[in-house]
């Protein structure tokens, strides 16, 4: 299978143009060992170092879809204009005694994540491997015209840390830290998005406190992928079964 065939397969699965463009732009072969590059665009997981793998493209696309990067809109006016019309039927009061009220606060009460355009978006990947998922995330942020962002990858395997640092060596917005990621990175929290690329044995509730309000955490737990949303400081979750991941070192 070549790249175009893989893109066509992902398109048939219903993934967005945002995700498809990222897979088209990022060269997967750069993130896998030379001996496996001939299979770079097969829709399969591939070995990297030891028991570690680079996940199947479908699985990565599925997790990126759940990560909802497109909702990290960095233009408050655009969000308000887009949503006002949709919520007229909900009788959101847009004026009070002839004066404009704080629309942002009203919309936040509706659960929308309105991001100031000058705010730095912070994203954490736990188990970042050779950096393929981080590269896809960054490409998606570029497509969304989000310029103020910081992506941090946590990886425990020396060879993978070196590989990913080499790939991103000229990128000041991406940092790779050699660290067991099971406890997250409390000193840099809170994050707007957290994604884990290895499987926990149980729900890592201790990581919820590292999420911003309205933040989102996509995490494999055993053979399921969970999406956790922090809305009004409460966690909402969804489970998607039928996946296989390498276990998280805890």
Give, for all 250 residues of the chain, the pLDDT tens digit.
899 999 999 999 999 999 999 999 999 999 999 999 999 999 999 999 887 899 999 999 999 999 999 998 744 444 455 455 555 445 445 444 444 445 555 555 444 555 555 689 999 999 999 999 999 999 999 999 999 999 999 999 999 999 999 999 999 999 999 999 999 999 999 999 999 999 999 999 999 999 999 999 999 999 999 999 999 889 999 999 999 898 887 6
Whether 161 contacts 211, CB under 8 Å: no
Return all residues near 241 (Cβ < 8 A) that are at least 6 apart: 223, 224
Residue 222 near residue 245 (C-beta atoms within 8 A): no
Q: The CATH number of 59-73+117-241 is which of 3.40.50.150, 3.40.225.10, 3.20.20.120, 3.40.50.920? A: 3.40.50.150
Backbone angles phi, psi at 220, to 5 degrees: -75, 135
In eight-state DSSP terms, residue 181 is G
What is the spatial distance between Cα 195 and Cα 127, in angstroms, rounded to a whole number?
A: 9
The domains of the chain are located at 59-73+117-241, 76-109
The model's pTM is 0.84
Element at 37 (helix H, strand E): none
């Amino acid at each position: 299978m070549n790249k175009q065939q893989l893109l066509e397969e992902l398109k048939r699965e219903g993934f967005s143009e945002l995700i498809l463009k990222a897979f088209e732009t990022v060269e997967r072969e750069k993130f896998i060992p030379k001996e496996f590059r001939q299979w770079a665009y097969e829709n399969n997981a591939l070995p990297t170092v030891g028991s570690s793998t680079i996940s199947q493209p479908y699985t990565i696309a599925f997790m990126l879809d759940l990560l909802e990067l497109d909702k990290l809109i960095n233009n408050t006016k655009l969000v308000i204009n887009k949503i006002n019309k949709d919520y007229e039927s909900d009788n959101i009061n847009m004026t009070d005694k002839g004066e404009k009220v704080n629309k942002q606060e009203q919309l936040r009460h509706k659960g929308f994540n309105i991001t100031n355009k000058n705010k730095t978006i912070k994203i954490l990947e736990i188990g970042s491997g050779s950096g393929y998922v981080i590269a896809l995330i960054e490409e998606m942020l570029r497509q969304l015209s989000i310029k103020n962002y910081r992506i941090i990858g946590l990886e425990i395997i020396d060879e993978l840390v070196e590989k990913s640092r080499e790939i991103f060596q000229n990128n000041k917005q991406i940092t790779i830290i050699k660290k067991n990621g099971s406890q997250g990175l409390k000193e840099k929290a809170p994050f707007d998005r957290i994604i884990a690329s290895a499987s926990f044995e149980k729900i890592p509730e201790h990581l919820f406190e590292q999420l911003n309000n309205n933040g989102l955490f996509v995490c494999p737990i055993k053979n399921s992928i969970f999406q956790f949303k922090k809305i009004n400081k409460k966690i909402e979750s969804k489970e998607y079964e039928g996946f296989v991941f390498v276990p998280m070192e805890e």
